[in-house]
A and B are shown apart, each in its own frame.
Chain A
Amino acid sequence: MPDTASAVGAPAGRREGPQKVAGAARYAAEHTPEGCAYAWPVPATVARGTVASVDTTAALEVSGVIEVLTHLNAPRLEEPDDATLAVLQDARVPHRGWYVALVVADTLEAAREGAAAVRVTYDSEPHDVTLKADHPDAHVPEDEDGTSGEHTRGDAEDAFAAAPARVDVSYRVPPLHNHPMEPHAATAHWQDGRLTAHDSSQGATTVRDVLAGLFALPEEQVTVVSEHVGGGFGSKGTPRPHVVLAAMAARMTERPVKLVLPRRHLPAVVGHRSPTLHRVRLGAKEDGTLTSVIHEVTAHTSRVKEFVETAAAATRVMYPSPHARTTHRVVPLDVPSPSWMRAPGEAPGMYALESAMDELAVNLGIDPIELRLRNDTRTEPDSSKPFSSRHLAECLREGARLFGWSERDPRPRSRSEGPVLVGSGVASATYPVVVAPSRASAHAYPDGSFVVRVNATDIGTGARTVLAQVAADALRVPLESVRTDIGSSDLPDAPLAGGSSGTASWGWAVHEACTRLASRLAGQQGQQLPPEGVGATADTEGTADADSDYARHAFGAHFAEVGVDTVSGEVRVRRLLGVYAAGRILNSRTARSQFIGAMTMGLGMALTEGSTMDAAFGDFTEADLAAYHVPAHADVPAIEAHWIDEDDPHLNPMGSKGIGEIGIVGTAAAIGNALHHATGRRLRELPLTPDRVLTGGL
């Protein structure tokens, strides 16, 4: 009898790995139905106004062009909840880059040439795309989700004014772009009134539901497949305009239509991380105990919909203080709609809070790890709920040991190697436990095989693999005997791969279905299974989303060592270490990849990534991968990720917390704090580029 109760936690290899390295895994645009046409979108070239005229004559004369969709002839859609999906429905241009036409042609080349030949004129209006903390339209949003508004405890202002030690600082995080390597793409096909779409999405169930709503179809008449997805990082978390456009074009031309968004279009149409302006005030006693915490965030949103980058939310979780105020303000501007980007809220928020904690530590002459330990807590400051588990202190201590923190001379500019100043920094990390209801089924077959079905999405996390591990343990069978079917809306409904919630949500339903199947099989011991197998289903509605008496969050600590070139101003990360307490780690191999991957994105946030909203044109100036610098191989040193085993019974049947996002939270602060240690200079605006480092002198 093989040891079958140990699949969870094992470093099982990715099930789709062999296909991916061989180039055989097919992504959304790699399905070409017979007669497939190609579409190319036309973005608006004004920041605000209306389309006055569209001349498609020249475009339609291009050889191979079949049709040009505009707001005048495109199929009418039912009104979507998400207004960014109401494409080609009216003449309004809410921001530059909003799509105003779509050219469909026999070939990609003809579609592109046709798109260049579409002539659009606009009645343009004055626009405002500049975010300022004192913008007259800045307002505290409706706090429908309990997160995006203002929270207060005690009297934060008075307590701050009375505090013996005070930090009052402002930070700025620029707009950031998700830029998954696979651009947003869809292939749509109508047949006998049924719509099938291969979509690059983080959650095909929602895409199915939304397409059914837009085209007024029963859900059974729509299938959305997201078998392999080339990254998303939040930008594919909900349906995006490309899949709607592809479906509209396919319906209008009565041909299958493939649409891949050009890379340069992505920043305007798939969401971005809003810039955030932070003012952080920390009041503390001489021993570092916090007495008042005030974190105010101003972010922008579009005129199309309100999205709030909830960057003060993590501050409600981290450190206790009798007095606190955390406030989000949002300013509607004529900008593209912001949306989720990896750790929305937590990533920029913890950059600000953890930089300010470092400033407080320096001001008080307290070691930054010690300052955090002195402000540790067992209850969530904002809710007063006990944490289900919080091992932040253990992460900090273990990280300090692994990193060699005790050898650090705390004085800034205490270490140099020729013209390079060397420093190290630390920052805490946190990310909430999110879980959503899911359905799943499990089947046993006479040949001894098992199949688990759930519309999970593998955006690179290894969902197929980890769900098979969960299933194998629940069924008490060898891992190899379990197949996982995911990535199609025809499978049992499931929530998206986002919010670090996928594995917990899907896994819970898989665990439940497999547990039921196991007990059914136990009742049939010795009997031959019927050819169609024996199955069980699960739906975690009402259980997975039940309120908890506990505050549930993952915690972690990041350590960075940087070298700062005093001649060029270049900051290079030499070492990066993350230590996490994120429940039970279900697959040590793929978990490590997620942790170091998110830390890499945090390195980019710290040093290379930043976009600029051009005030004159209303356009992101860093739109493509030549101008928007995601980290490259040469930027990334050896990165280490470790974790502390947590046994937390208040999570889900697997005991796991999410791991996809916490790695980016705090990484930028650790690098910024290391820059301060190296140089004695505090930069409060990301990214930490050479021009900023050199301004003011080293």
Chain B
Amino acid sequence: MGTDVFRSEVPLTVNGSPCRPTVDHRSTLLDVLREQMGLTGAKKGCDHGQCGACTVLVDGRRANSCLLLAVAHEGCDITTVEGLHADDGVELHPVQRAFLERDAFQCGYCTPGQICSAVGALAEAAAGNASHVTDPDADTGEPVELTREEIRERLSGNLCRCGAYPHIVEAVEDVTP
């Protein structure tokens, strides 16, 4: 049995700040964020890409950080829920505010993932990315209107066991252009 542990320094940008964590090659991005960098906003719900609690934005696109090996993400720009708010660190992101206003959570454990996922979904819809429920006859590349059905479909990778779904959909609807 080999006992060597392979580690590498990986340049990343996390929430706008460049950093160079030294990571175990087996480490997921989620574990590096949580255990090495103290960014526990991204949650570990299943560690297998089944629940979405670990959702972060990687170069602007949402991803399950439990499925990403940190060592494979050299040069990537990572945004976690802690990095969504304005630069002053005080003002919340509009999606975060909408979640508060709609009481779109209970235990709060899926919440950072839901919020990052919503931010990603809003950008995807604005960029014209279709979902499973988008009208196939709609013009390709045009922004997709985020109806409740669209929001539900696009956020279905983010489980919430407290059952806050109706309020989450209302919150996302509130920030839909």
List the interface of chain A (C-beta within 8 A of B): 13-14, 16-18, 20-27, 29-30, 32, 58, 61-64, 107-110, 113, 117, 179-183, 228-231, 233, 260, 262-263, 459-462, 589-590, 592-594, 596-601, 624-626, 630-634, 636-639
- A308 CA to B42 CA, complexed, in Å: 37
Task: Give the shortest distance, in Å, between B170 (CB) and chain A (any CB).
Answer: 9
* CA A307 to CA B76, docked complex, whole Å: 51
- Shortest C-beta distance, A573 to chain B (Å), equals 12
Shortest 10 CB-CB contacts between residues of A and residues of B? A23-B41, A600-B163, A230-B109, A460-B106, A460-B107, A597-B163, A20-B108, A23-B81, A625-B50, A30-B40
A182 to B107, CA, bound (A): 9
Tell me the bound Cα distance from A20 to B160 in angstroms. 14
- Tell whether B112 is near chain A: CB-to-CB under 8 Å: yes
Docked complex Cα distance between A532 and B92 (Å): 35
Q: Are B1 and A58 in contact (CB under 8 A)?
A: yes
**Main DSSP-derived SS at the A contact region:** loop
11 contacts between A and B (CB under 8 A): A21-B96, A22-B85, A23-B40, A30-B40, A181-B110, A229-B107, A231-B107, A460-B108, A624-B50, A625-B50, A634-B156
Chain B interface residue count, Cβ-Cβ cutoff 8 angstroms:
62
B47 within 8 A of A: yes
Given contacts A63-B3, A231-B161, A590-B103, contact A632 B44 (CB under 8 A): no
Give the distance to chain A from B142, nearest Cβ to Cβ, in Å: 23
Give the residues in chain B near A596, CB-CB below 8 Å: 163-164, 166-167
Q: How far is the CA of A634 from the CA of B103 in the complex (A)?
A: 19
Q: Roughly how many angstroms separate A150 CA and B96 CA in the complex, as a whole number?
A: 51
Instruction: Provide the main secondary structure of the chain B interface.
Output: loop
* Cross-chain contact of A21 among B24, B42, B44, B115 (Cβ < 8 A): B115
Looking at A179, A461, A625, the one whose CB has the most chain B CB atoms below 10 A away is: A625
* Sample of 18 further A-B pairs with CB below 8 A, known A20-B105, A109-B26, A636-B152: A13-B100, A17-B103, A18-B100, A22-B82, A23-B39, A23-B41, A110-B5, A180-B109, A180-B161, A181-B53, A228-B107, A260-B44, A460-B105, A460-B108, A590-B103, A592-B103, A630-B159, A636-B163
B51 at the interface (CB under 8 A from A): yes
Given contacts A13-B103, A108-B35, A117-B1, contact A624 B46 (CB under 8 A): yes
Interface contact B107-A459, CB-CB below 8 Å: yes
Cβ-closest chain A residue relative to B116: A23
Q: State the Cβ distance, A291 to closest chain B Cβ, in Å.
A: 38
> Binary interface profile of B, 98-122, with partner A (CB < 8 Å = 1, else 0)?
0110010111111110010000000
Task: Give, as a whole number of angstroms, the nearest-CB distance from A487 to chain B.
Answer: 13
CB-CB under 8 A from A636, the residues of chain B are 152, 163, 165-166
> Complex: how many Å from CA A593 to CA B101?
12
Q: Are B43 and A230 in contact (CB under 8 A)?
A: yes
For the complex, is B162 an interface residue (Cβ under 8 Å from A)? yes
Q: Are A593 and B106 in contact (CB under 8 A)?
A: yes
Residue B143, interface by CB 8 Å: no
B57 at the interface (CB under 8 A from A): no
Q: With the chains together, A58 CA to B168 CA distance in Å?
A: 48
Beta-carbon contact of A630 and B161 below 8 Å: yes
With beta carbons under 8 angstroms apart, the residue of B34, B97, B159 that contacts A30 is B34
Q: Are A626 and B24 in contact (CB-based, < 8 A)?
A: no
With contact pairs A460-B108, A633-B156 given, residues A24 and B103 touching in the complex (Cβ less than 8 Å): no
Q: Does B4 contact A (CB under 8 A)?
A: yes
In the assembled complex, the Cα of A64 lies from the Cα of B3 at a distance in Å of 9
Say whether B24 contacts A107, CB under 8 Å. yes
Chain A residue contacts of B106, Cβ below 8 A: 231, 460-462, 590, 593-594, 597
B14 at interface by CB-CB < 8 Å: no
